[in-house]
A and B are shown apart, each in its own frame.
Chain A
Amino acid sequence: MSFIVNGLRFVANAATGLVIGMVTTMKYLWTKKATIDYPRKPFPHAERFRGVHELRKYDDGLERCIGCELCAVACPANAITVIGAENDPAAPVSPGERYGYRYEIDMLRCIFCGWCEEACPTDAIVLTPRFDLADFTRQRLVYGKDKLVVRDPFTQHMANTESAVETDPGVAP
């Protein structure tokens, strides 16, 4: 008799295992999917995600950068190159005496630590939540002022939420 009892017990155990497994997978079928449908839907990022830099302007169109090179000094990866120049009083680029004549960040070197933000006395350089950096050549990943001085709608959010809002009346919250 024990043969039959053991056999039935074995079958019952196996069946229980199967049912538990099937129920588990069925639960997962109705769980929210982990995949983000990325290019078609925005990638959810942390509020203070550090991505591609932006060189900001005042609302009157003048650049904030005064070419002081403090960001370049602070940069632990030596990714930033700044060459400053004197402002032409007739047509100033920035409100101060000097402005950033050349401003380059090597995105291949940058570690996105945010120290340049900390160092900047005028809150000119900020890290935006943009992260889609891919490109086909190394040269194009050295971002100059043409790519950094932008205020597109995507980065506006960042400009409005950073500490600059309190310290600078030029940026409307």
Chain B
Amino acid sequence: MSHFPDWAIILAVKSGVLIFIVVTAFAYLMLLERKMLGWFQLRLGPTWCGPWGLMQPAADAIKLVLKEDLTPAGADLFIYKIAPALAVLTALLAYAVIPFGWLPDGTPIAIASPNVGILFVLAAGAVGVYGIALGGWASQSKWSLLGGIRSTAQLISYELAMGLSIIPVVMLAGTTSLAGIVAAQSAHHLWYIIPLFIPAWIYGVTALAETNRAPFDLPEAETELVAGFHTEYSSLRFGTFFVAEYINMITVSAIRTLLFFGGGDGPWVAQFPLLTVVWFLVKVGIMLFIMIWWRATLPRLRYDRLMTFGWKFLLPTSVACVIIVAGVVAAMGNR
């Protein structure tokens, strides 16, 4: 018999399956992005590995694993080696609380559904900067260090606006539980994108900055910093950073769907509750497509403009939104 209690084994299996799904999703998100960017630029994207290039992620993985794992001579070995793991760990952490849909008996499909779900996601995202900052620091390279510093500054600046753009949602829903927020949107028959258009937009912009995506990809600005914080990383360690970045993309898309687009809400979910998973995944896919679309369209911001935009525009706007929504909620009373 097992020494572990049943709940621990169930939890471990659930987490293992979820991690497998998320990593597979990452692999094909990467392929999708390469394909989409190719199409946006009138190219074909990967076409040679398998039909329509569908085996490209496997080929990339093999290539990354088989490459030489270099460590710079001056690197801080322990931190250098732990940084990629830290990045991917914090990226995966958020999936513990994301409800992917609803079972027929009304319980959310998630590893855990704590009352502080959205706070947990924000905390995990905030810790995520450590992987990048420490990786940049421990590489003992000026490019890596500059990339790490930029990433830290960017995340701290945009996290404020991000947190403030979520507060109106929490005020309207009256709960910080992600499942509760989705349930509130279903109960009101109103996706929060409609009343909270500006916070939804601010969340989208700050989410790009949080995930270091174009046009906010300054931490890895090739023209200035070689490859930014992962300049010195090669082989599987580079691959781990890569995984973390794309998993973060999926995370913020999922959170955006949950907060502003009604999660798994959609047609016919009353008859078929499991359809919520499908709607959720479709919405996340659309969010991811929009992120890729933005990357294909927008040029990288200059660093001072990034800061100006974050502190002088996004932050005051989101504060104003918080105040207005708070006033409206107070005026409407306790529903």
What residue in chain A is nearest B43 (Cβ atoms)?
A35
Instruction: Other than A22-B297, A33-B39, A37-B47, give 15 A-B pairs with Cβ distance below 8 A.
Output: A18-B298, A21-B298, A22-B293, A22-B294, A25-B293, A25-B297, A26-B293, A28-B39, A28-B41, A28-B42, A31-B42, A33-B38, A34-B42, A35-B43, A37-B44
Is A29's CB under 8 angstroms from B43's CB? no
Point out the residues of chain B lying under 8 angstroms from A33, CB to CB: 38-39, 42-44
B19 contacts chain A at the CB level, 8 A cutoff: no
Q: Would you call the interface of chain A mostly helix, strand, loop, or mixed? A: helix
A137 contacts chain B at the CB level, 8 A cutoff: no
* Interface, chain A (partner B; CB < 8 A): 18, 21-22, 24-26, 28-29, 31-35, 37
**Bound CA–CA A1/B41 (angstroms):** 44
How many pairs of residues, A versus B, come closer than 8 Å at their CB atoms? Answer: 34
**Bound CA–CA A33/B36 (angstroms):** 12
**Bound CA–CA A25/B297 (angstroms):** 6
Is A35's CB under 8 angstroms from B44's CB? yes
> Could you jot down 6 A-B contacts, CB within 8 Å?
A28-B39, A29-B40, A33-B38, A34-B42, A35-B42, A35-B44
Interface residues of B in 253-298 (CB under 8 A from A): 293-294, 296-298
Among B43, B47, B294, B297, contact of A34 (Cβ-Cβ < 8 Å): B43
What residue in chain B is nearest A25 (Cβ atoms)?
B297
Is A21's CB under 8 angstroms from B43's CB? no
Is B40's CB under 8 angstroms from A25's CB? yes
**Bound CA–CA A110/B152 (angstroms):** 59
Point out the residues of chain A lying under 8 angstroms from B47, CB to CB: 37
Point out the residues of chain B lying under 8 angstroms from A25, CB to CB: 40, 293, 296-297
**Bound CA–CA A161/B294 (angstroms):** 50
Point out the residues of chain A lying under 8 angstroms from B39, CB to CB: 28-29, 33
**Bound CA–CA A21/B294 (angstroms):** 9
Question: Which of B293, B296, B297 has the most chain A CB within a 10 Å cutoff?
Answer: B297
What residue in chain B is nearest A32 (Cβ atoms)?
B42
Point out the residues of chain B lying under 8 angstroms from A35, CB to CB: 38, 42-44
Point out the residues of chain A lying under 8 angstroms from B40, CB to CB: 25, 28-29
**Bound CA–CA A24/B43 (angstroms):** 16
Interface residues of B in 156-196 (CB under 8 A from A): none
Interface residues of B in 283-315 (CB under 8 A from A): 293-294, 296-298
